[in-house]
Amino acid sequence: MKFSLFISTLLFGASLSIAHAEPDPHSYAEPDKVSVTALALELGVDFDKQELTGAATLSLDWHDPAARSLVLDTRDLAIESIEAIGADGTTRTATYTLDARDPIFGSALRIALEDAAPMVRIRYHSQPQASGLQWMSPAQTASGKQPFMFSQSQAIHARSWVPLQDTPSVRFTYTAHVTAPKALRVVMSADNDAKHALDGDYRFVMKQAIPSYLLAIAVGELDVRETGPRTAVYAEPSLVAKAAREFE
């Protein structure tokens, strides 16, 4: 009985703690009102412009029945359009405002919705100055043949290449469809097919919910070495064997 009472007290206290959690001072998001549960990315990689172009579709879980605004974190993103997607799949244009840019936290993207839409789709592109994307010319790579791009989302840089709730208090699953120049491999922090043809068309699924700082992408002349039944190392061809030995 005492043990059951103790557990009940702990659970009650934990629920109060969650309900009254302090807002993340590094995020504009309001996950106590609505939280992102899934992300679907459609992205094209443009090395000439040093941009990712496409759309992010966010699945939403509304906690406040009266809320009609979705606030997302962005930094140096060019927003092109936003649609609300109904439960029946119908879409309608959503109005939005982008706050003035803070040099550290970026800009809050405030999306006004007529009702508690289950999904929104944001069409956008990143910009060359995105703090979470590193673009390298061929001369900066080991082979000197192909360009290379990789992301660094930690701690609050995911917002510079995807509009989302950039706070560790929000976790989401994701899928991604990424197109890139042929002969370059795309990898992400998700299931990767080591035998995928270098055809410039890649799809990814992450079934485990992750915080935004674990969202990752890399595109380049990448070879792969399997290090176990569930693990592999990706690196440039001249470096992959040495990189794999680091995990032996």
Question: How much is the pLDDT for 16?
Answer: 39
Residues of the chain with pLDDT > 70: what percent?
92
* Structural domains of the chain ordered from first start: 23-130+155-214 (2.60.40.1730)
Strand ranges of the sheet holding 107-112, from the earlier edge strand across to the other edge: 69-74, 107-112, 95-98
pLDDT digits (tens, 9 = 90+) for 84-100: 999 999 999 999 999 99
Question: How much is the pLDDT for 2?
Answer: 40
Q: β-strands 34-46, 171-179: how paired?
A: parallel
Residue from 132, 130, 133, 76 nearest 107 by CA: 76
Strand ranges of the sheet holding 119-125, from the earlier edge strand across to the other edge: 91-93, 78-85, 119-125, 51-62, 34-46, 171-179, 201-211
This prediction has a pTM of 0.89
